[in-house]
Chain A
Amino acid sequence: MIEIDFYTVFWREMVVFRRTFVKFFASRLVSPLLYLVAFGWGLGRGIQMNGGNYLEFVVPGIIALSAMNTSFNAVGVSLNMSRLYHKTLEEYLIAPISAGAFVLGKVLAGTVRGLVASLIILVLAFVFGAHLAINGWFFLVVILTCFLFAALGVVAAMTINSHEDMANFATFVILPMSFLCGTFFSPDRLPGAIAYIIEVLPLTHASHALRALARGDGLLPVSLAVLAGYAAVLFVAGVMVVKRVR
């Protein structure tokens, strides 16, 4: 019955998503627009990156970081609030549904939001005149990125015991990744040890894979495998922390 149960959780998220779509859309427009103006037009005009213009270099990075931020926040913040403050999580805990179904529903809903945010940026990028090669692999990488950070959102929301610490987690983990993981520049310019750490982080693989695909260089199988690995591990971790919440 997991197939129906996860859909119930997902259904609730989509009811709310539809209702708040305009607000979501507007808010998801602002930061990528600023990034594109600042790094694409302002700073980036005339800069050449690996033979292409900077706008085309930076758009896959912005998509990766927006996918991460949107999915993580959509699940993490609301689930943390629901557990600690609104107590709406209890409604799911006293219902006869499994932890797996609950996490899957939440993570898929976070993935949808991340995907929509990424699409918004893609459209903006075309408006700004970027030439990107988009194919099915590109969307698969975006979806995996959204999925794994939504799952990270579940893990964080279920283990962090205050709203402030949730914000701290975003500041100390998510924010550094936004800037360092190959989003705005290649991490191989960083000093050795740091570059090594960066290379292990999932967002780095998301940016690299998306950039290679957008440039027409094809799929990076190692990055895809790393993203899939993170997604699987974080999903299982999410199910485990929901199971032991009582």
Chain B
Amino acid sequence: MIELRQLTKHYGNIIAVAGLDLHIEKGEIFALLGPNGAGKTTTIRMLTMLTKPTGGTALINGYDVMRDLDRVKKEIGVVPQHMNLDQELTARENLELHGRLHRIPASRRQERIEELLDYVELRERAGDLVNKFSGGMKRRLMIARALMHNPKVLFLDEPTVGLDPQTRRKIWDLIRRMNSEGMTVLLTTHYIEEAEVLCHRVGIMDKGRLIALGTPRELKQKVGEVVVESFGGKDTGYKLFPSRDRALAYAGQLDGNVLIREANLEDVFVELTGRKVGD
């Protein structure tokens, strides 16, 4: 369970996170969705105690991230946005270091390492130095590392950025599997489809604020489930409708090419902010 109350972070004059209130249930996969600079990473860094909040509180399974540092550290696993594996160590040694840092006794540590190497399918490469790994292998190893000490809450900051579609699917499967074993997952992404296929609930962030919150379904219903795209003149026009009939009626009045399709989270985002993700 993750609980944020008015969580705030200022960097000088920049307000990176502006009073976030959020409650994430145990066993949920929750995505923070938003464009670059929305404040997703800053939020994760505060929850993982890498940055001190300017204000507000955050609790993880009831432990305060400002005060119960050691308790929180046991509860959470962290997969950061940037690759921060130890490049001078092998894959197995990276896991071993993490296990030792969490004081897992030697025999249990070895078992867990082998288990996780299988889990993320890196057994054959376990003895290789990490700097020889591809992006997808590194990301999988980072996930394995975060899982070493059996955390109950997992944070993943843009877990699939820069990966090919196949590897991305693999990571999604991994996240689903961990979740089905009871893990609470908070991930950030700016890939709409990732939030849509993977997550139970989505919070849309923009400029440090949460501008919408709900299941992907709810969010689409809120802005309209059917989209009419019209290609007349210079710009593509978008309009959202609550039902197919209304959309058809509207489309009938338009000249030029018209496309009627189901709404996705991208439409929700555009509708709420007037911008596209990535702008």
Footprint of B on A, CB under 8 Å?
1, 4-5, 8, 11-12, 15-16, 19-20, 86-88, 90-97, 246
> B92 to nearest A CB, angstroms?
11
Determine if A8 and B49 form an interchain contact, defined as CB atoms under 8 angstroms apart: no
* Other-chain contact of A12, B51, B73, B82, B86 (Cβ < 8 Å): B86
Interface membership of B196, Cβ < 8 A: no
Determine if A88 and B93 form an interchain contact, defined as CB atoms under 8 angstroms apart: no
Interface membership of B80, Cβ < 8 A: yes
Contacting A at CB under 8 A, from B65-98, are 69-70, 73-74, 76, 78, 80, 82, 84-89, 93, 97-98
Determine if B101 and A87 form an interchain contact, defined as CB atoms under 8 angstroms apart: no
> A92 to nearest B CB, angstroms?
7
Query: Considering the chains assembled together, what is the distance between the CA atoms of A1 and B100 in angstroms?
Result: 12
B-side contacts of A19, CB under 8 Å: 88
Determine if A94 and B48 form an interchain contact, defined as CB atoms under 8 angstroms apart: yes
Determine if A1 and B78 form an interchain contact, defined as CB atoms under 8 angstroms apart: no
Per-residue interface assignment for chain B, residues 48 to 65, with 1 indicating a CB less than 8 Å from any chain A CB and 0 otherwise = 111110000000000000
Interface membership of B132, Cβ < 8 A: no
Q: Which residue of A lies closest to B74 (CB)?
A: A96
Interface membership of B108, Cβ < 8 A: no
Query: Considering the chains assembled together, what is the distance between the CA atoms of A92 and B100 in angstroms?
Result: 11
Determine if A8 and B97 form an interchain contact, defined as CB atoms under 8 angstroms apart: yes
* Other-chain contact of B102, A15, A86, A95 (Cβ < 8 Å): A95
> B208 to nearest A CB, angstroms?
20
Interface membership of B234, Cβ < 8 A: no
Determine if A246 and B50 form an interchain contact, defined as CB atoms under 8 angstroms apart: yes
Determine if B52 and A246 form an interchain contact, defined as CB atoms under 8 angstroms apart: yes
24 contacts between A and B (CB under 8 A): A1-B103, A5-B101, A8-B100, A8-B101, A12-B89, A16-B89, A19-B88, A20-B88, A87-B84, A88-B86, A90-B78, A91-B97, A91-B101, A91-B145, A92-B101, A94-B50, A94-B76, A95-B73, A95-B102, A96-B70, A96-B103, A97-B101, A246-B50, A246-B52
* Other-chain contact of B88, A16, A90, A91 (Cβ < 8 Å): A16
B-side contacts of A93, CB under 8 Å: 49-50
Query: Considering the chains assembled together, what is the distance between the CA atoms of A214 and B114 in angstroms?
Result: 52
> A48 to nearest B CB, angstroms?
47
Determine if A15 and B85 form an interchain contact, defined as CB atoms under 8 angstroms apart: no
Footprint of A on B, CB under 8 Å?
48-52, 69-70, 73-74, 76, 78, 80, 82, 84-89, 93, 97-98, 100-103, 145
Query: Considering the chains assembled together, what is the distance between the CA atoms of A19 and B102 in angstroms?
Result: 24
Known: A8-B101, A94-B49. 10 other contacts (CB 8 A): A1-B103, A16-B89, A20-B88, A86-B87, A87-B80, A93-B50, A94-B50, A94-B78, A96-B103, A246-B50
> A65 to nearest B CB, angstroms?
26
> A179 to nearest B CB, angstroms?
32
Count, A-B residue pairs, CB within 8 A: 64
Of B82, B86, B97, B101, chain A has the most CB atoms within 10 Å of the CB of: B101
Determine if A90 and B50 form an interchain contact, defined as CB atoms under 8 angstroms apart: yes
Q: Which residue of A lies closest to B87 (CB)?
A: A86
Query: Considering the chains assembled together, what is the distance between the CA atoms of A20 and B103 in angstroms?
Result: 26
> A2 to nearest B CB, angstroms?
12
> B82 to nearest A CB, angstroms?
6
Query: Considering the chains assembled together, what is the distance between the CA atoms of A196 and B123 in angstroms?
Result: 61
* Other-chain contact of B84, A1, A16, A86, A97 (Cβ < 8 Å): A86
B-side contacts of A1, CB under 8 Å: 103
Determine if B93 and A15 form an interchain contact, defined as CB atoms under 8 angstroms apart: yes
> A86 to nearest B CB, angstroms?
6
> B151 to nearest A CB, angstroms?
10
> A63 to nearest B CB, angstroms?
28
B-side contacts of A91, CB under 8 Å: 84, 86, 97-98, 101, 145
A-side contacts of B70, CB under 8 Å: 96
B-side contacts of A4, CB under 8 Å: 103
Query: Considering the chains assembled together, what is the distance between the CA atoms of A198 and B13 in angstroms?
Result: 44
Once A15-B93, A88-B84 are accepted as A-B contacts, the answer to whether A95 and B101 lie under 8 Å apart by CB is: yes
Determine if B103 and A94 form an interchain contact, defined as CB atoms under 8 angstroms apart: no
The 7 residue pairs across chains A and B that have the minimum distance between CB atoms: A95-B101, A87-B84, A8-B100, A96-B73, A96-B70, A16-B88, A88-B86
Determine if A88 and B85 form an interchain contact, defined as CB atoms under 8 angstroms apart: yes
Determine if B101 and A90 form an interchain contact, defined as CB atoms under 8 angstroms apart: no
Query: Considering the chains assembled together, what is the distance between the CA atoms of A5 and B99 in angstroms?
Result: 11
> A228 to nearest B CB, angstroms?
30
Of B51, B78, B84, chain A has the most CB atoms within 10 Å of the CB of: B84
Determine if A246 and B51 form an interchain contact, defined as CB atoms under 8 angstroms apart: yes
> B184 to nearest A CB, angstroms?
17
A-side contacts of B49, CB under 8 Å: 93-94, 246
Query: Considering the chains assembled together, what is the distance between the CA atoms of A5 and B97 in angstroms?
Result: 11
B-side contacts of A95, CB under 8 Å: 73, 98, 101-102
